[in-house]
Amino acid sequence: MSISLEEVRHVAQLARLELDEDEVLAFQGELNALLGHFLDIQGIDVSDIDAQSHAVTMQNVWAEDFPWESLPRELALKNAKVSRAGLFVVPAIIED
């Protein structure tokens, strides 16, 4: 299991990370080391274990549909770097 330079660039692009060629190489090494651990896991015999998406055995935990009080707006906006007129303000985003 190994990751190509092209895959590193693709993942970086998806994560909106700008990497120079040295960094691409460095991350390839680090990611490949990580992926190596999965090889160890793949060595375990799981043939009699069902596939599962969660580590807990609980199911069907619901909340009833009764509204609660929301945060006061000042509090909701408190962590925002910039806010104006009750809005979170961010740099212009062009969806690609």
Partner 1 sequence: MQSYIPSIGMEVHAELATRSKMFCRCSVAFGGQPNTRTCPICLGLPGTLPVPNRAAVEMVVRTALALNCTIAMRSIFHRKNYFYPDLPKGYQVSQYGDTNPLGYGGYIEIPTSDGGVKRVGIRRVHLEEDTGKLMHLPTGESGIDYNRAGVPLMEIVSEFPPDIQNAEEAKDYLVQLRQILLYLGVCDGKMEEGSLRCEPNISVRLKGAEKLGTKTELKNLNSFKSVQLGVGYETSRQAAVLEKGEKVLQETRGWNEQKEESYLMRIKETENDYRYFPDPDLIPMVFDDAYIEGLRKSLPELPLSKSQRYEKDYGLDRKESWEFLVDPEWSRFYEEAVKLGGDPRLIRNEMVSEFAKHLNETGIPARESRVTPAHIVELTKLKKEGQITSKMGKDVFVAMVKDGRMPAQIVKESGAVQISDESQLTSIIEEVLKTHPDAVAKYKGGQVNVKGFLVGQIMRQSKGQANPEMVQDLLQKALEQA
Applying CB under 8 A, which residues contact partner 1?
Answer: 14-16, 53-56, 58-68, 70-71, 73, 76-77, 79, 82, 84-93, 95-96
- Do residues 8 and 31 touch, judged by C-beta distance below 8 A? yes
Tokens of 3: 């990751």
Tell me the closest approach of the beta carbon of residue 33 to partner 1, in angstroms: 21
Tell me the closest approach of the beta carbon of residue 35 to partner 1, in angstroms: 16
Q: State how far the Cα of 25 lies from the Cα of 64, in Å rounded to an integer.
A: 51
Collapsing DSSP states into helix, strand and coil, what is residue 19? coil
Tell me the closest approach of the beta carbon of residue 87 to partner 1, in angstroms: 3
Closest to partner 1 by CB, 10 vs 37, is: 10
Q: State how far the Cα of 42 lies from the Cα of 50, in Å rounded to an integer.
A: 15
Closest to partner 1 by CB, 45 vs 57, is: 57
**C-alpha triplet 24, 28, 32: angle, nearest 5°:** 170
Closest to partner 1 by CB, 29 vs 88, is: 88
Tell me the closest approach of the beta carbon of residue 6 to partner 1, in angstroms: 14
